Amino acid sequence: MAARIMQAAKCPTDELSLTNCAVVNEKEQQLEQHVIVRNGAQKFVFTLKTHPSMTHGSIGFSLPQRKWAGLSIGQEVEVTNYRFDKSRQCISTMTMEIDFLQKKSIDSNPYDTDKMNSEFVQHFNNKAFSVGQQLVLSYNDKLFSLLVKDMEAMDPSILKGKKGSGNKIEIGLLVGNSQVIFEKSESSAVTLTGRSKTRESRQSIISPDWNFEEMGIGGLDKEFSDIFRRAFASRVFPPEIVEQMGGKHVKGILLYGPPGCGKTLMARQIGKMLKAREPKIVNGPEILNKYVGESEANIRKLFADAEDEQKRLGANSGLHIIIFDEIDAICKQRGSMAGSTGVHDTVVNQLLSKIDGVEQLNNILVIGMTNRPDLIDEALLRPGRLEVKMEIDIFCLFRLPDENGRVQILNIHTAKMRQHKLLGGDVDIQELAIETKNFSGAELEGLVRAAQSTAMNRHIKASSTVEVDTDTAEKLQVCRMDFMGSLNNDIKPAFGTNQEDYASYIMNGIIVWGDLVSAVLEDGKLLVQQTKNSDRTPLVSVLLEGPPNSGKTALAAKISEESEFPFIKICSPDKMIGHSEIAKCQAIKKIFDDAYKSQLSCVVVDDIERLLDYVPIGPRFSNLVLQALLVLLKKPPPKGRKLLIIGTTSRKDVLQEMEMLDAFSTTIHIPNISGGEQLIKALEHSKRNKGQHFSIGIKKLLMVIEMAVQMDPKYRVSKFLSLLKEEGRLGSDRFMAI
C-alpha cells in the first residue's frame, strides 16, 4: 500500500486508550493490522483497532502515545502498512519500567509481577511495542505508567533445546509466551514481588538449562528430552507461526512401564518444570463413585477451570495440566467388563469428549501413567488424545540406569546425608554404582534406606525395651559396610540379572574332563557372539541334550553367565512346583515378556520334560505347556531386541516326538564320562579344587574295576564310583562334586 496522509486525533474512548493501539474508522480497509506512522524523520509502529466514531482519514492516539511520538491533534502524519518478520521479531523478553500513573493512587500494597506478567501478555497479545514507548496499564483497579526499556527476540533454536541468543530488537511483537519483566523506576514507590521483576525468568515454557538431578531425578535425562521435544515444541514457539503451519498442540502423554521405573516422579516434575497452572494430580480409582453419574461429574470437574479460562481468554489461556496416576483403573477397554454397570465405559466416553470432543480444549495437557497399557481403551491412545506414548523401561540397555545414571540417583538419595555429614568417608558412590548393575531407581533408593537402617541399628541398646543409645547416636555415620551388607542381604534387583539364579548351578565350577566339554563351551561362546553381532538372527536357540546328571544345566548356566547379557533368567521346574497348567504357562510367558524388554537377553529353559510334566508311564504330558513353549521358542523378539534361548533335556527322543526339536536352531550333545582318561582328568580337577588327597591299594583298585566291568556299559562308571565310595577312600562330598 502506498503511504497515506492522515490527521492525528484523540482516542475515542478511555477503554481503547488502555489497549496501546491506534484507532481508525472501520471503513479504512486499506490499512492492515500494524502500521508505521511517520512524524518527520521519525517512525513509530502501532497496532490498529477500529471504532465507528472515528472520522474517515483520521487516526486516534492516546495521550501517552502522542507524548511518545511527539504528535499534536490535527497534525498530518504519513501512514503505511507494516508486517512483522515473526521468525525474528517475536518478543522473548521485554523489560518495562513501572510507576503509579497518579501520585494520589500511591499505596504500599505489594504487586505480584508474575500475575501482572500473565495479565499483561493476555491483554496486549499480538500488539506492537517499541523501545522507549510509553503506555498505561490497568491492574487491580490501579493505573500504572509503563516505559519499554529494552526487548530481546525469540530464538528458534530453543526448539532444539538450546538457550536463545537473546538478540536485542527495537520493534517487536508480543506473543502468548513472551516474558515481561517489571522494574521500578528510580523515584517509584510501587512495591513489586515475584520472579518477573528480575531477569531470572525466561519466556520458554520449558527451561532449556533445567537440572534434572537437582529435582530428584537421575538416569532419565533422555526420556525427559524426548518428551519435551515431542510434546512441547509447539507451546514454545510463537502461536501465530504454529497456526500458519497448521500445527496443533499435543494434549496427552502416556507414561508406562514396570513398577519402580520413575513414572510418577517424572509426571510430578513435568508439572513443576512448566510455567503453567498448578497441576491437578488424581489417582484413577478416586474418580470412581458408587452413585450414578458422579464418576462422570468428577471428570468434568477436573476440566472445569480449563474450560472456563478458554471461554474467557481463548488462545491466550494458560496451560492446565491434569495428571492421572493408574489411569488403567478408569480407562479400561469399553465393553470388556461383562456384567458390569457400564460405569467405566461412560467415564472413558466423558474423558474422550473433554480431550478431543466437539468442543475440544486446547489449553490442557493430560498425563496418564500405568504399568498395564494393554488394558487402556484404544480410542484414548490415538493421535489427538494420549498420542505421545513413552515407555519408561528399566530393562533396556539404553533406558536401564547405566553406571552414570546410577551415580546420579545415588547422589540424589545421599545428598542430605552428605549435607549433614552423616555419610561415612569410606563410601564411594562410584563403587556402589558399579556393584548395583540392573538396579532400578526405586531399588537404589531402597538400598540407601536399608543402609540407613543398618547404621541406626548399631545404636540401639539390646535390652528388654527398645532404646536408642543416645551416647553414641550423635556419632551416627552410614559407612561402606552398611551399604555392602544391605547389598548382599537386603536388596536384590527384581529385573535384569540376579546372580543367585544361576550361581547355585555352577557352585563347584565346570570340570573340563575332555575335549567334548571344551567344545561345548566354545560353541556356547559362538552362539553368544552370534546373538550380539548378527542382525539377521535376533533369535538364537540351542538345545543341550544328554543323559541325566551329565552337567547340562551347569553348562547352560556357565554360557549364560559368561555372555554378560543385562537380562538372564532361568526358567526352572523347581520354581513352578504346584502350579496349575495355566499358572505355569503364565509364569513362562512372563519370563519371555520380561526378556523382550531388554536389548540383549538370555533365557535358560531347564529340564524341559519336567516343565511339560512328562512321565513315561502312560505317557502323560501337559499339552497346554507344550504349545506355549513351541510358540515362545519360535517367536522373534521385538525390533531392536535380541534373545538367546538355551534349553536342556534328558529325553531328546521325547522332544522329537513332540516336534519340539525343530523349534531350536541347533542341538548339542552332552555325553557322560565314558573312559578312564576322562575319569582321571575329572578326579585330578576335583583334587586340585578341593585340596584333598586319597589313596587306594592297587589290589583293591583292580578288584573294584573288575566288579564294575561286570555291569552294563551304561552304568560302569557310576558303579565304579559307588564302589570307591563304599570303600571310604573318597568323601561323599567329592562324589557329589564329580
CB 103 within 8 A of CB 188: no
C-alpha cell at 348: 472413558
- Where is 669: in which H helix or E strand? strand 666-669
User: Rounded to 5 degrees, what angle do the CA atoms 662, 663, 669 make?
Assistant: 70
| DSSP bridge partners of 49 | 23
The grid cell for 17 is 486508550
State the Cα–Cα distance between residues 417 and 412, nearest whole angstrom. Answer: 10
Rounded CA-CA distance 48/19 in Å is 10
Sort strands 539-545 and 642-649 into parallel, antiparallel or unpaired.
parallel
Closest CA to 673 of 518, 509, 558, 547: 547
Half-sphere exposure of 204 (CA within 13 A, CB side): 24
HSE-CB for 327 with a 13 A CA cutoff = 28
Residue type, 339: G
Look at residue 331 in the predicted model and tell me its pLDDT. 80
Dist. CA 463–CA 468, nearest whole Å:
10
- The residue ranges of DSSP E strands in 546-599, in sequence order, are 567-571
Residue among 152, 196, 198, 197 at smallest CA distance from 171: 152
Cβ(721)–Cβ(731) below 8 Å: no
For residues 58 and 707, give the distance between their C-alpha atoms in angstroms, rounded to a whole number: 127
What is the rounded CA–CA span in Å between residue 558 and residue 569? 13
Angle at 86 between CA 81 and CA 88, to 5 degrees: 110
d(CA 209, CA 304): 33
Q: Which amino acid is at 556?
A: A
3-state secondary structure of 115: helix
Q: Show Cβ contacts of residue 3 under 8 Å, excluding neighbours closer than 6 positions.
A: 38, 78, 79, 80
In this prediction, the residues of the chain whose per-residue pLDDT falls under 50 are 159-164, 198-204, 206-210, 212-213, 216, 339, 394-399, 691, 728-738
Q: How far apart are CA 177 and CA 154, in angstroms?
A: 10
DSSP state of 349: H
Q: Which residues are catalytic?
A: 552-553, 606-607, 634, 699
**Separation CA 41–CA 542 (nearest Å):** 87
Q: Where are the alpha helices (DSSP H) in 147-288?
A: 221-231, 233-236, 239-245, 263-273, 284-287
Q: Residues 6 or more apart from 48 whose CB is under 8 A from it?
A: 21, 22, 23, 24, 31, 32, 33, 34, 35
Q: What is the CA radius of gyration of the chain?
A: 38
616 burial (CB, 10 Å; 0-12 / 13-18 / 19+) is exposed
